[in-house]
């Protein structure tokens, strides 16, 4: 007896195991089909093979299959229609099927002004397709096999050139590691730091900015180290306080602090590098949107101050799309081999097709064009946000807007009849279909909400995400909300 049915798709129906449990042939088939229809292996609407074909595939009598189909149709798992064969029923009509999942609150957001997401309409579909085609046509035969865990040399070479030219990063292809997004790079680095510190002894914590992404803090702690907050002000993270943090490494967003938008002051950059040199510590530079500076020439990467003490981390999530999961680390020499081994142990290597396509896009100049196009687009949006706020809510101070895809709106305090607290505004915004976040939601749990390191009540507005058609309307709703309507 066979256990594979093949009719355009493969389906594993394990009858022998059920037979071994004492089920008759028809009962075994019914049970296997029921399980497949109830779980993920047969999606609603899937057309099943005819009873003749399935019987032949499984090496059993056609009647047995026809009877099993009839039984499952009677139970509501399958739908049989004259002329259109047998299909898997919709989950809603299945007897005993689960209720539809509750709608996530995000589904109700008509205008998404949350930070950290790019406008996906900007993705250069035609250029990406053309780059993929060219990359595949010229790729050596072994490109589709297992390759160096650090990633394809084509992309490491293209990135080393690009990052040197555009961000002033001092690296070479041998020191680049391609990861599944920045998130994986952060995870592997955190695990390596923890192991070096003696994880059995608890290890030293990793210092992070007191305001930052909770998911990234979760990536770090899942890999081992605890995190400690470093206060943040208008000059970026207080790296002058690193010495007393007890940390063995620090994660910074120097070009555009996430989420306050501050540019790390040159003295603070120097302080972080000095600290790393004196203590054998490491700085991780998250350059997530370093290409999107509007007020002047982009500020070069901090990594150039000391490539043996600063790991540079970049990602295609803002410049192209987060779904590509393309990230890169420019590593100090001493970390190359251990990190290559960690990447190999984590997942072997990242997928090569995207790597080859991005290499081709960078080499052909398409990536530079895309970055320029995106920068212009976001700059226009930023100007619209600034103009709207100046007109509708002049008492709101806008900061962090000279770079990146988001801004921070400092709410005025003490205004008679003024604006309510940030959480109330966020809640009101959600009720109007507008997604935005309170600055407080990015606060590290060890930074007290009413302590000296807490930042004043503010909203964080992302202007990257909505498609053009929703952006203008979203701004209107925001204007109304801040104007007290």
Ligand X SMILES: Cc1ncc(COP(=O)(O)O)c(C=O)c1O
- Short-list 385, 331, 11, 283, CA closest to 156: 331
Q: In this complex, which beta carbon is closest to ligand X, that of residue 318 or of residue 340?
A: 318
Q: In this complex, which beta carbon is closest to ligand X, that of residue 252 or of residue 482?
A: 252
| 261 binds ligand X, rule: CB under 6 A | no
| 257 binds ligand X, rule: CB under 6 A | no
Q: Min. distance of Cβ 212 from ligand X in angstroms?
A: 7
Binding ligand X (rule: CB under 6 A), the pick from 128, 182, 211, 471 is: 182
| 258 binds ligand X, rule: CB under 6 A | yes
With both helix axes pointing from N to C terminus, report the angle between 422-431 and 468-482 in degrees, rounded to the nearest 10.
Answer: 130
Q: Min. distance of Cβ 142 from ligand X in angstroms?
A: 27
Burial 346-365 (b: 16+ CB within 10 A, else e): beebbebebbbbbbbbbbbe
Q: Min. distance of Cβ 231 from ligand X in angstroms?
A: 18
| 317 binds ligand X, rule: CB under 6 A | yes
Helical H segments across 85-201, by residue range: 125-138, 153-167, 181-196
| 213 binds ligand X, rule: CB under 6 A | yes
Binding ligand X (rule: CB under 6 A), the pick from 116, 281, 457, 464 is: 116
Number of residues that bind ligand X (CB under 6 A): 14
Q: What long-range pairs does 239-247 form, CB within 8 A, spacing at least 24?
A: 239/264, 239/268, 239/269, 239/271, 239/272, 239/275, 240/268, 240/271, 242/207, 242/271, 242/272, 242/275, 242/281, 243/275, 243/279, 245/205, 245/207, 246/204, 246/205, 247/204, 247/205, 247/206, 247/207, 247/281
C-alpha gyration radius of the chain: 27
Binding ligand X (rule: CB under 6 A), the pick from 150, 175, 204, 318 is: 318
Contacts with ligand X, 267-296, as mask; x by CB under 6 A = -------------------x-x--------
Region binding ligand X by CB under 6 A among candidate stretches 57-65, 267-275, 300-308, 313-321: 313-321
Q: Min. distance of Cβ 440 from ligand X in angstroms?
A: 17
Binding ligand X (rule: CB under 6 A), the pick from 149, 151, 327, 466 is: 327
- Is the CB of residue 405 less than 8 Å from the CB of residue 114? no
157: Cβ–Cβ under 8 A, 6 or more apart, which residues? 173, 359
Region binding ligand X by CB under 6 A among candidate stretches 20-28, 78-86, 311-319, 425-433: 311-319
- Is the CB of residue 284 less than 8 Å from the CB of residue 249? yes
Binding site for ligand X (CB under 6 A): 116, 181-183, 213, 253, 258, 286, 288, 315, 317-318, 322, 327
């Amino acid at each position: 007896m066979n256990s594979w049915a093949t009719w355009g798709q493969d389906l594993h129906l394990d009858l022998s195991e059920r037979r071994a449990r004492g089920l008759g042939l028809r009962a075994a088939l019914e049970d296997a089909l029921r399980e497949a229809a109830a779980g993920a292996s047969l999606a609603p609407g899937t057309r099943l093979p005819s009873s003749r074909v399935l019987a032949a595939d499984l090496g059993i009598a056609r009647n047995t299959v026809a009877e099993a189909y009839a039984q499952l149709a009677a139970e509501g798992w399958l739908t049989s229609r004259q002329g259109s064969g047998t299909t898997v029923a919709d989950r809603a009509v299945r007897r005993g099927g689960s209720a539809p999942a509750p709608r996530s609150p995000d589904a109700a957001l008509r205008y998404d002004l949350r930070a950290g997401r790019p406008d996906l309409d900007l993705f250069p579909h035609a250029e990406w397709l053309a780059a993929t085609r060219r990359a595949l046509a010229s790729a050596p035969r072994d490109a589709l096999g297992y390759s160096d865990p650090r990633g394809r040399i084509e992309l490491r070479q293209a990135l080393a050139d690009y990052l040197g030219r555009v961000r002033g990063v001092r690296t070479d292809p041998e020191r680049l590691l391609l990861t599944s997004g920045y998130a994986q790079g952060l995870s592997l680095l955190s695990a390596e730091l923890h192991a070096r510190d003696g994880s059995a002894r608890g290890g030293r914590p990793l210092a992070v900015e007191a305001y930052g992404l909770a998911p990234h803090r979760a990536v770090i702690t899942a890999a081992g180290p605890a995190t400690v907050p470093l206060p943040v002000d208008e000059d970026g993270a207080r790296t002058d306080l690193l010495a007393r943090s007890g940390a063995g490494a620090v994660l910074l967003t120097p070009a555009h602090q996430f989420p306050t938008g501050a540019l790390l002051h040159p003295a603070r950059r120097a302080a972080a590098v000095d600290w790393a040199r004196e203590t054998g510590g490491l700085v991780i530079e998250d350059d997530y949107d370093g290409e999107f500076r509007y007020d002047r020439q982009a500020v070069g990467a901090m990594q150039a101050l000391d490539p043996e003490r600063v790991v540079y981390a970049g990602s295609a999530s803002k410049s192209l799309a987060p779904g590509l999961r393309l990230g890169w680390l420019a590593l100090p020499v001493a970390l190359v081999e251990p990190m290559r081994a960690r990447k190999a142990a984590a997942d072997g290597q990242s997928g090569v097709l995207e790597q080859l396509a991005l290499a081709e896009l960078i080499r052909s100049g398409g990536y530079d064009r895309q970055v320029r196009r995106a920068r212009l687009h976001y700059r226009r949006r930023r100007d619209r946000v600034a103009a709207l706020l100046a007109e509708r809510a002049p008492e709101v101070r806008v900061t962090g807007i000279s770079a990146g895809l988001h801004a921070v709106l400092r709410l005025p305090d003490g205004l008679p009849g003024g604006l309510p607290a940030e959480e109330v505004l966020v809640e009101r915004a959600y009720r109007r279909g507008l997604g935005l976040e309170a600055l407080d939601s990015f606060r590290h749990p060890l930074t007290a909400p009413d302590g000296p390191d807490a930042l004043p009540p503010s909203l964080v507005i992302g202007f990257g995400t909505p498609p053009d058609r929703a952006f203008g309307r979203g701004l209107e709703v925001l204007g109304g909300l801040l104007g007290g309507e």
